[in-house]
Amino acid sequence: MKLSVIGAGYVGLTTAACLAQIGHDVFCSESDLEKLAKLQNGEMPIFEPYLELVIKLTQRANRLRFGSTEDAIAWGEALFICVGTPPLPNGDADLSAIEGVARAIAKRASGYRLVIEKSTVPVQTGAQLRRHLSVHRANGLKYDVASNPEFLREGTSVEDFLHPDRVVIGVDSPRAAEILRGIYAPIIQQQFTCPLHSQCPKHKSPLFLVTDTNSAELIKHASNSFLAMKISFINMVANLCEAVGADVNKVAQGMGMDPRIGSAFLNPGIGFGGFCFPKDVQAFIRIAEKSGCDFTLLKEVERINQHRVEHFVEKLRKELWILRGKRIGVWGLAFKPDTDDIRFAPALAIIRQLLSEGANIQAYDPQAMDKCRSELPEITYCSDLYRAAEGAEAILLLTEWSEFLTADWGRLSTLVERPVVLDGRNALRREEVIANGFQYLGIGGVSEGTLSASSMVEV
């Protein structure tokens, strides 16, 4: 099928490449001309595992092309809107880019188009889109509007697209449902050439859920908000563990053994970041407010998360006393591993706080340093994790990239000024760190210089 994807950010680019990979003829547009030129020259504007490979494969097969919004509108029978919906100062999602695309579609398209919202939007955006298309349409445009929320995680977005747990579509006409069913048939049946696995692991067929547009929109915001709530919950449990002398890793392990709770998203740390959770929680609070529902629960989720930065810096202050003039080694800048995305990254908030107190920061991240340089020009960027540790009075693990987890602690002990490690993600092998003479400070009571009894008792 001829499909268009409007907007080549993380979501749009993955969507376009993967739809082409499963056999569709895809046109992907980007309004940022610099970014568009990069894509047309075969350069990647972002780091996302396997995405470059899929783009190359599908371009070679002549199933993916990049160009203008106008050409995208002319190309596809179905148009996926993947433009940004950043937060406004009051927490609302800024829908002006969506409105702009809707207006362009209304003015330029003729015949029939299925307009699909894939960007995360507040509930009832589909209804607004429908009204907008009706008011501004020219050329006898006939259309349906559908919601098809994405559940892609940065760092694993290609895998998530091709092997999802679920595909949700929100439609208000049988025609729209039929088109979307056709688009996703290769994914639902798991029948396509997989660029990731020579033999795909036995994935169960994804669930396909058809709802009305409002419900599909809500599923997305409710899912992200729920996951954020899980993270804030375990972070509060971590605080309690610190206060009473328990080990949050063990508590989370025990909780996660209950299938009703599940072990995912119970990793305590310096809080959630990225461009999705912080803005989606905010937007969901605003949607509830506007609809007359007081979602105070989510305000707490947000407040707990914001406090993680200060809580972590306070741990460092307790250890080093005065931060002014101290050299601190920072491992990790991205909001999570396997991405170069630094938007709302807790690492950056922590660094800003340390800088404001006069610390000297030397940082290393495998992918995110280029994006960080303009945001934080006052820190030293190092070529590897060992350089970042040289002469440091503390090493802070802020993003759990796999290369940090396999660091040579014997070598590190000869490089640092003072052997102190603050593990902001409870990700390091604590025993190994301690065995090499380091003082280990984790999150939620996982901090002793010697192993606690609780950590030695295996369940």
Active site residues per annotation = 276
Name the minimum Å distance from CB 380 to ligand UGA.
24
Query: Please, which residue, 21 or 339, has the CB nearer to ligand UGA?
Result: 339
Ranges of beta strands (E only) in 344-390 are 360-364, 380-381
Ranges of beta strands (E only) in 212-367 are 327-331, 360-364
Distance (Å, rounded) from C-alpha 59 to C-alpha 51? 12
Longest dimension (CA), the chain: 74
Contacts of 121 (CB under 8 A, 6+ apart): 85, 93, 95, 98, 147, 217
Within a 10 A sphere around the Cβ of 277, how many other Cβ atoms? 23
Phi, psi at 292, each rounded to 5° = 80, 15
Query: Please, which residue, 229 or 276, has the CB nearer to ligand UGA?
Result: 276
Name the minimum Å distance from CB 220 to ligand UGA.
7
92, 283 in Cβ contact below 8 A? yes
Query: Please, which residue, 223 or 455, has the CB nearer to ligand UGA?
Result: 223
List contacts with ligand UGA (CB under 6 A): 120, 150-154, 224, 227, 231, 265-267, 269, 272-274, 276-277, 280, 335-336
3-state secondary structure of 439: strand
CA 431 to chain centre: 30
Residue with the two structure tokens 């599940």: 262
Name the minimum Å distance from CB 450 to ligand UGA.
27
Name the minimum Å distance from CB 277 to ligand UGA.
5
Distance (Å, rounded) from C-alpha 445 to C-alpha 210? 45
Rg (CA), the chain: 24
Name the minimum Å distance from CB 425 to ligand UGA.
7
Give the residue among 354, 335, 357 at the shortest CA–CA distance from 346: 335
251, 241 in Cβ contact below 8 A? yes
Name the minimum Å distance from CB 300 to ligand UGA.
16
Query: Please, which residue, 58 or 305, has the CB nearer to ligand UGA?
Result: 305
Query: Please, which residue, 150 or 242, has the CB nearer to ligand UGA?
Result: 150
Distance (Å, rounded) from C-alpha 44 to C-alpha 290? 39
Query: Please, which residue, 276 or 428, has the CB nearer to ligand UGA?
Result: 276
Residues comprising the chain, all counted: 459
